[in-house]
Amino acid sequence: MTRTILACLAATAVSAAALADEHIEIAPIAFGDEMLEKADEYGERELNRLAGYLTDDLEQALRGIDMMDGTRLEVTLLDATPNRPTFQQLRNRVGLSMRSIGIGGAELEARLVSEDGRVLEEFDYSWSSHNLREVYGASTWYDARRAFHLFSRRVRNEVHEELRGES
């Protein structure tokens, strides 16, 4: 009998949680035309890696923010430039070295969309290093990852402001 009551209470708690606000769903990362044009140059593996990095940053930044059920964030990675050559670039260009460095970065846009399709908020962001001294010793996607992190923080802050009615 006690197990039955506990099971009913647990089911009620789960049902109540299902009716409450939920976390923002992050839609699969889309790629803009510029990124898709670079897919062969960078390699598909790198695009998947970038999508994973970006999703991880967004999930961490938006953790704990509750919105209406069905609210999702649709993000498009418009462009990204590596600080060091990707494996595919090394394979395709004779003489290119992992020691080669460059100014990297990323350009992104996103839409926060309600379950009924209304656009609640739009975001766009671009970031890159200013000079090579900033990237010396950097990994392949160092600046792009920095851009993802800064973008994720900006989205979180703007969503917080929207929820408080400050925008």
Q: Which pLDDT value is given to residue 129?
A: 87
CA 93, 99, 101, 104 torsion-angle sign? positive
Tell me whether residue 9 is in a domain.
no
CA 116, 124, 154, 28 torsion-angle sign? positive
| Parent domain of 66 | 22-164
Q: Which pLDDT value is given to residue 1?
A: 40
DSSP assignment string, 23-53: EPEEPPPEE-HHHHHTHHHH-HHHHHHHHHH
Tell me whether residue 131 is in a domain.
yes
- Phi, psi torsion values for 78, nearest 5 degrees: -75, -40
Q: Which pLDDT value is given to residue 10?
A: 39
**pLDDT per residue rounded down to tens, the chain (167 residues):** 434 333 333 343 433 344 445 788 999 999 999 999 999 999 999 999 999 999 999 999 999 888 778 899 999 999 999 999 999 999 988 888 888 888 999 999 999 999 999 999 999 999 998 888 777 667 899 999 999 999 999 999 999 887 777 54
Give the residue among 156, 80, 78 at the shortest CA–CA distance from 121: 156
Tell me whether residue 1 is in a domain.
no
pTM listed for this prediction: 0.82
Tell me whether residue 30 is in a domain.
yes
Q: Which pLDDT value is given to residue 94?
A: 84
Q: Which pLDDT value is given to residue 136?
A: 67
Domain count, the chain: 1
Assign 53 to helix, strand or coil: helix
Q: Which pLDDT value is given to residue 8?
A: 38
